[in-house]
Amino acid sequence: MTSTDGRPLWVGTSWKMNKTLAEAAAFIDELLEFSVPPGIQPFVLPAHTALASVRDRLPLDSGILLGAQNAHWGPEGAGTGEISMRMAQDAGATLIEMGHSERREQFAETDLTVAAKAAAAVAHGLIPLICIGEPLEVRETGTEEQFLQAQLRAALSRLSPADLGQVIIAYEPIWAIGEHGRPATSEEVAPVMAMINDVVAELSAGGSARAVLYGGGVSPDNAADLLSDPYTDGLFVGRAGWAASGFVDLLRLCAPFAAAPRSGTMGPLSGSPETAGRTRRSTS
């Protein structure tokens, strides 16, 4: 599901700690009734318990990618309650989420463990979906770019310049996440998205990430505004995408932005890091 120039608009949702097997199946069945607009790469991150069953429910040509919300950096063995990259891949995952603020706060995930997970994911041919985000107190002091750049550089520190073309980065300000978060405006988001692209270009000798997404309080009310930023390659959605109808509404809303020119040679699962660099997409 790529645009004619080969660079898709990514739109995905994480179900977090939600959905039984039956509820997951109902979501997928409803989603499959919708024809995803050209140029959009949809992805869904079920809970581990539903990953394999969702994989089995999707037709091979559905174009919908699956991800795991977490995986360990190490090989199989002593790791109670964890799954390895190989196990996640076996269950159907193409993407591996890491560094989400909830994981950092509740499960002591650090920049070092995010870096280890990113390297392990790439080593297994998986796409690291690296989340970065600042708390409200950092945003209020005006030091968010320094804070986020440190997170980003640490997360990418164990990857080679060529590996960076495989990575997806999601900017999710902590103050915008969740039921009580305050949705961010494009004016607040745009400088960060540009900074992320600049850092990746520096570390990859002029290349780019596979995609740079915005997540955090995304809804039909602000999705278009957020996508107007030329440095934003898509959206990573939380509760607004938990119902299939809501996710479909967002996919439909994103269609005009997917149709805009998107330079580059790298599709969702093809191309090489060496050809990942491109000019920013036009939003005219």
Cβ–Cβ < 8 Å for 183, 217 = yes
Residue 10 buriedness (CB in 10 A; 0-12 / 13-18 / 19+): buried
What is the C-alpha to C-alpha distance for residues 91 and 68, in angstroms, rounded to an integer? 9
48 is catalytic: no
Provide the angle, in degrees to the nearest 10, between the axes of the packed helices 186-203 and 144-155.
Answer: 40
- Selecting among 97, 109, 144, 172, the annotated active-site residue is 172
- Selecting among 72, 100, 109, 144, the annotated active-site residue is 100
DSSP class of 184: P
- The token pair that represents 152 in the structure block: 């980003």
What is the C-alpha to C-alpha distance for residues 223 and 235, in angstroms, rounded to an integer? 8
Q: Would you tell me how many other CB atoms lie within 10 Å of the CB of residue 41?
A: 25
User: Catalytic amino acids?
Assistant: 100, 172
